[in-house]
């Protein structure tokens, strides 16, 4: 080996030399406490239904959901986000089932808050699981667009019903103008000042939502997982518009802001982080999950390393919390529990 040596004062590799040194200078971590597990709930008492386009994810009955959430809480995951898949028979153009006081997701919230009270529960506010057309609000066929203000009125009613069921956070994901302020007013006016709002503030019209639409049945209703929602979701090329939406949601009273999807929009996460002091969430969506799982199944990627790196990048960009379908597996890994072992093994 050559004796040649550079005359360097600064050698950054010194602090990478051992695992202990790398730990000391580590700037970003992903812990179970940073993660939110999205969950899909269905009617009945049957076994969990596998979601073909999301390997390892299931639609669960309320009874099975409770058992899953007990395990998640035991792993240190602080919150879950619930999404219902409804029978086609209860769907309608106006999504009226969304304001049924005994609808599926409200029964699931009540059961969860009674059984696993320490777990924070997030309720999605949007009409796509409830409508025959699969859009996130009330569809105006003549205009070929969503009716903004009438949709907001329904979202307010959904928010109050979710708060009455005991939900901790409502999360409007519809991207209607003015909905955060209207929901805050509705919650406060009905005695739910303590219910928080997680606003899907910068939700882009992304091609990465297809597996989710399969999971909740909105793609089947509409006939395609690639339903065009560009009249209300953000243009993927628009950075400044995203920051405007974020600023408006903060002004209207959002408690937590969100960027969705996460991985393809790390630049937006970083810019939002620099513009606000509010807590910031990012949603690693179904397509992000599916592409990592599919590549790993084919042996093209190391699943655990790519999974962990993808989440680390989202945290490094500035997200305080991440909604991710990997939440349970990451928490088990951090706890030293094999992915196929029962909790406590």
Please check whether residue 269 is in contact with residue 244, taking contact to mean a CB–CB distance below 8 angstroms: no
Handedness of CA 247, 251, 252, 254 (dihedral sign): positive
Rounded Cα distance between 95 and 124, Å, is 14
Which residue of the set 85, 91, 229, 260 is catalytic?
A: 260
Strands 49-50 and 58-60: antiparallel
Which residue of the set 85, 203, 229, 328 is catalytic?
A: 203
Rounded Cα distance between 258 and 171, Å, is 9
Please tell me the number of Cα atoms within 13 Å of 158 on its side-chain side: 32
Rounded Cα distance between 294 and 303, Å, is 9
Single out the residue of 208, 150, 205 nearest to residue 179, CA to CA: 150
Task: Say whether 203 is catalytic.
Answer: yes
Single out the residue of 120, 134, 131, 180 nearest to residue 155, CA to CA: 180
Task: Say whether 260 is catalytic.
Answer: yes
Single out the residue of 259, 130, 258, 256 nearest to residue 195, CA to CA: 256
The catalytic site residues sit at 203, 260
């Amino acid at each position: 080996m050559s004796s040649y040596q550079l005359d360097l004062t600064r050698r950054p590799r010194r602090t990478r030399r051992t695992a202990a040194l790398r730990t000391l200078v580590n700037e970003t971590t992903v812990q179970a406490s940073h993660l939110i597990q999205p969950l899909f709930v269905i009617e009945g008492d049957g076994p969990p239904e596998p979601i073909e386009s999301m390997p390892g994810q299931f639609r669960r009955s309320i009874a099975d959901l409770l058992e899953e959430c007990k395990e998640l809480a035991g792993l240190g995951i602080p919150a879950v986000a619930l999404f219902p898949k409804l029978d086609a028979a209860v769907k309608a153009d106006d999504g009226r089932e969304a304001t049924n006081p005994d609808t599926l997701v409200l029964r699931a919230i009540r059961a969860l808050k009674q059984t696993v009270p320490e777990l924070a529960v997030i309720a999605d506010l949007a009409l796509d699981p409830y409508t025959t057309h699969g859009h996130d609000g009330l569809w105006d066929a003549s205009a070929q667009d969503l009716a903004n203000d009438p949709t907001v009125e329904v979202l307010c009613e959904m928010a109050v019903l979710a708060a009455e069921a005991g939900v901790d956070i409502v999360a409007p994901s519809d991207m209607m103008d003015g909905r955060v302020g209207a929901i805050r007013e509705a919650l406060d006016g009905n005695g739910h000042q303590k219910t928080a709002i997680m606003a899907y503030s910068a939700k882009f019209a992304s091609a990465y939502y297809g597996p989710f639409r399969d999971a909740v049945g909105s793609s089947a209703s509409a006939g395609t997982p690639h339903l065009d929602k560009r009249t209300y979701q953000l243009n993927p090329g628009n950075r400044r518009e995203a920051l405007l939406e974020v600023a408006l949601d903060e002004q209207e009273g959002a408690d937590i802001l969100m960027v969705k999807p996460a991985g393809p929009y790390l630049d937006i996460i970083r810019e939002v982080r620099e513009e606000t002091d509010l807590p910031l969430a990012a949603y690693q969506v179904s397509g992000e999950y599916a592409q990592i799982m599919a590549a790993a199944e084919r042996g093209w990627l190391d699943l655990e390393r790519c999974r962990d790196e993808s989440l680390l990048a989202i945290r490094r960009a500035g997200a305080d919390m991440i909604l991710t379908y990997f939440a349970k597996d990451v928490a088990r890994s951090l706890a030293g529990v094999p992915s196929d072992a029962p909790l406590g093994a």
